[in-house]
Homo-oligomer: A and B are copies of this chain.
């Protein structure tokens, strides 16, 4: 009996990995790849840091600089994919999510919890992506207005485990209360 033989335990394993990412800086789910619809006609993908995972609401939270292009992209099209590969389990987790940018009250509240050493990540000048003449032509100063929280409301989880002779793939959807469906891999 492998854990992948039941849909409910499959979903449990996925959430174990997501919750590990919240607490363990070395867990694969700590640094998912966030894919968005870009503004220049290409999809975009980059590493982000996942700060919070809540199974009950099926939400993840990501902190980012409000001046990054990803925030502009998500304001334009508020849907994203998150991709996590867990080598220890040969497990791929693909998440489709609707993204909400947290409001000011929420952001102000969480800013107080950002460690002082991390605050300079929010406030590089010029803004991320601006052409500069050399890598040292930037300044960093903590700016609470630049702090943004991306609330990722998970709509679907598409997961595949490559261990064993069969590749087990399953789709879990918010719309059917996460009961799950096997898919051909």
Contacts and interface: CB of A to CB of B under 8 A. Distances in A.
A25 interface: no
Contact of A43 (B79, B125, B132, B184): B79
A46 interface: yes
B81 A38 contact: yes
A5 B47 CA distance: 23
A130 interface: yes
Q: By DSSP majority rule, is chain A's interface helix, strand, loop, or mixed? A: strand
Interface in A8-34: 31, 33
A41 B42 CA distance: 14
The 3 closest A-B pairs by CB, nearest first: A35-B35, A45-B83, A35-B45
Interface of A: 4-5, 31, 33, 35-38, 40-47, 79-83, 85, 92, 94, 96-97, 124-138, 155-156, 166-169, 181-185
